Amino acid sequence: MSDKNSYVFEAQTKQLLDLMIHSIYTHKEIFLRELISNASDALDKVRFNSLTEPEKYKDVEDLSITISIDESSRTLTISDNGIGMTEEEVKNNIGTIARSGTKKFLEQMKSQKNSDNNIDLIGQFGVGFYSAFMVADDIILETKSEDSDIGMRFESKGDGNYTLENIERTTRGTDIILKLKPIAEDDSEDYIDRYTIQRLVKKYSDYVRFPIKMDMPKQTEPDEKPDDKKDTIEYETNTLNSQTSIWQKNKNDVTTEEYNEFYKMHFHEFEDAIEIIHTKTEGIIEYTALLFIPSRPPFNFTQPEFEKGLDLYSKNVFIMNKCKELLPDYLRFVKGLIDSPDFSLNISREILQHTNELKKISSNIEKKVLDILALMLKNNREKYEKFYGEFGESIKMGVYSDMQAKDKLINLVLFKTSTSDDKYISLTEYKDRMKPEQEFIYYATGDDAQSIERLPHMEAIKDSGYEVLYFTERVDEFMANSAREFEGKKLRSISQGDIKPKEEGKEKTTDANVTDVLTAMKTILGDSVFDVKETDRLRDSVVCFVSKEDGITFNMAKVLSESGNNMFGLKAEKILEVNTTHPLFEKIKNEFESNKESEMFKEYTHLLYDEACIVLGMPIEDPKLFTQRLSALMLK
């Protein structure tokens, strides 16, 4: 047998330990949930391996977790006959923080100096094994793997070091031995108390599929007199958990609280789900689905390492986690699991992913979630808007990228608008409020509501009483381009094409003198503009740019080139629209009419062009020239 060796925890682990040791987190009890969940995972691995190596793992019928308590030494031990760990595994799994979730936890902790927030984060990330340091000042882990002849003992007092030594041990599995801290005055409960432990197992780990056993004081028989002279308490081994998985229970027998407890434990969430979906389907394919819509996106939702997917079980036995084929991309925020007896346990992941059963279940689930969301929108607007505030972008991405689902999804999209008073409305509601003569569903793009309201393009459209959808997210216009229309009404940017419906039989006529001025302006501006024409969308402003009806919008051109996706070099062609009723136009018209070759007229034209750029937030092509012109004008 080798000697005891000392190791130093890596810096990050040490930080985490310090936090646990000094924690004033009030839900310290979660340590038990974490240790039981580790034990349960270790047992799952045995059960899973036994499918392919039945000779090596013979005891699948006897897999269990045992909690033992020694009051006199304040020792709480959680034992399992699970997969165990080799020396290497102890070093890697316990001695370092491999989990990206824990790393992220530490990053967040660093960025939030306030210690109250740190405490919240413990619950949010459920930092696993290390959470035991909240309640213990000495932790010993003894373990043996089937792949090793000897056992290992790990011990740490949470002081930044741990020791490892070989031990004699013949049985596979792991014991976590916690030397509990002395009970402090402000502790509301003592984890050495069997009834406390019993209650916590029931609360957090009831559904664990393996028995969790503990010795409990024997119940006295009713006819036995309580004052019988007995100085030793008799114990009997009880199974503390019911072991039925929550999803196999009847919906009516499960409370929302129980669903949420399960959800938080299983998916390491810290807030209740906003919606819980529990369905059983029988028929050609049989399955149970238990799905949760989180109330907030996870911290890494927008990062590439985020993995979507549902966990897959067959008759209560875990097959795989995060099976991504079960969820379309736009529903990547959904958490949950599927249990179907139709899957064989030892089928390989690769084969499984391409089975028809999986495809069928996936499309059923997609339909179910969309139906639930539609119902929520109809019956519980407040809840839906809360959901939409968090995941609306995913829904819009769906309209953009999912050809099959987009017709359903567009009904779930909400926008704030020019007349909605900062409230969300759906496209159905928009359509119901359209003016009788209104041809299009109008939208405007901008960074926020204020910048949209400042657009000159909004001036006349407001007068006409047309409502304008506010597109403030990048995905919005992509979505509109992909949807094209809603129930027969085309979606149209307010900075594109004509705004007023063409009155039948009447071509719009422009005064011949005005036309001359506009034509002269076009000649001066040359290829910078596609056209110069009279506007019907301005009131107080003199000019604005409009893009060609059959081209792309300015916003799309900008987004495409910013994201480096404009491979065809698409440009939004500029049409300079001029407000011919504006006093300034009157002035330059006079200038032009007094002298067709007027230098002044040319300068005005260039300045108006630059002005249109500024208002749309486009860069001025030659800022120096612009300032020279402006200065010259001021000097006049």
Residue 42: CB minimum distance to ligand ADP, A: 3
Residue, CB closest to ligand ADP: 128
Residue 38: CB minimum distance to Mg ion, A: 4
Place of tokens 């004081």: 217
Write the secondary structure of 194-244 as one string of H (helix), E (strand) and C (coil).
HHHHHHHHHHHHCCCCCCEEEEEECCCCCCCCCCCCCCCCCEEEEECCCCC
Q: Is 532 in the site for ligand ADP (CB under 6 A)?
A: no
Contact 383, 424 (CB under 8 A): no
Residue 94: CB minimum distance to ligand ADP, A: 5
Residue 200: CB minimum distance to ligand ADP, A: 17
Q: Is 445 in the site for ligand ADP (CB under 6 A)?
A: no
Residue 34: CB minimum distance to Mg ion, A: 5
Q: Is 129 in the site for ligand ADP (CB under 6 A)?
A: yes
| SS3 of residue 128 by DSSP | helix
Closest among 620, 613, 624, 528 to 632, alpha carbons compared: 624
CA distances, 122 to each of 27, 109, 132 (Å):
9, 9, 12
Residues 92-111 that bind ligand ADP (CB under 6 A): 93-94, 99
Q: Is 34 in the site for ligand ADP (CB under 6 A)?
A: yes
Size of the site for ligand ADP (CB under 6 A): 15
Token pair listed for 602? 């040319």
CA distances, 343 to each of 57, 279, 325, 350 (Å):
22, 18, 14, 13
Binding-site member from 25, 36, 82, 384 for ligand ADP (CB under 6 A): 82
Residue 38: CB minimum distance to ligand ADP, A: 3
Q: Is 267 in the site for ligand ADP (CB under 6 A)?
A: no
Residues 148-207 that bind ligand ADP (CB under 6 A): 174
Of residues 201 and 452, the one with the C-beta less far from Mg ion: 201
Q: Is 65 in the site for ligand ADP (CB under 6 A)?
A: no
Q: Is 38 in the site for ligand ADP (CB under 6 A)?
A: yes
Quote the distance between the C-alpha of residue 213 and its chain's center.
37
Q: Is 469 in the site for ligand ADP (CB under 6 A)?
A: no
Choose among Mg ion, ligand ADP, none what residue 94 binds, the Cβ cut-off being 5 to 8 Å by kind: ligand ADP
Residue 226: CB partners within 8 Å, gap ≥ 6?
A: 220
Closest among 275, 210, 274, 249 to 79, alpha carbons compared: 210
Exposed/middle/buried for 572, CB within 10 Å: 0-12, 13-18, 19+?
Answer: buried
Q: Is 142 in the site for ligand ADP (CB under 6 A)?
A: no
548: region left, alpha or beta (phi > 0 left; psi from -120 to 50 alpha) = beta
Of residues 38 and 420, the one with the C-beta less far from Mg ion: 38
Choose among ligand ADP, Mg ion, none what residue 39 binds, the Cβ cut-off being 5 to 8 Å by kind: ligand ADP
Choose among ligand ADP, Mg ion, none what residue 99 binds, the Cβ cut-off being 5 to 8 Å by kind: ligand ADP
CA distances, 338 to each of 280, 332, 408, 553 (Å):
10, 15, 24, 44
Judged by the rule CB under 5 A, the positions of this chain that interact with Mg ion are 38, 128
Of residues 94 and 552, the one with the C-beta less far from ligand ADP: 94
Residue 174: CB minimum distance to ligand ADP, A: 4
Of residues 78 and 475, the one with the C-beta less far from Mg ion: 78
How many angstroms separate the CA atoms of 99 and 120, rounded?
Answer: 19
Residue, CB closest to Mg ion: 128
For 285-354, the DSSP string reads: S-EEEEEEE-SS--TTTTSTT----EEEEETTEEEEEEEGGGS-GGGTT-EEEEE-TTS-TT--HHHHTT
Token pair listed for 62? 């006897």
Of residues 79 and 362, the one with the C-beta less far from ligand ADP: 79
Q: Which residues bind ligand ADP (CB under 6 A)?
A: 34, 38-39, 42, 80, 82-85, 93-94, 99, 128-129, 174
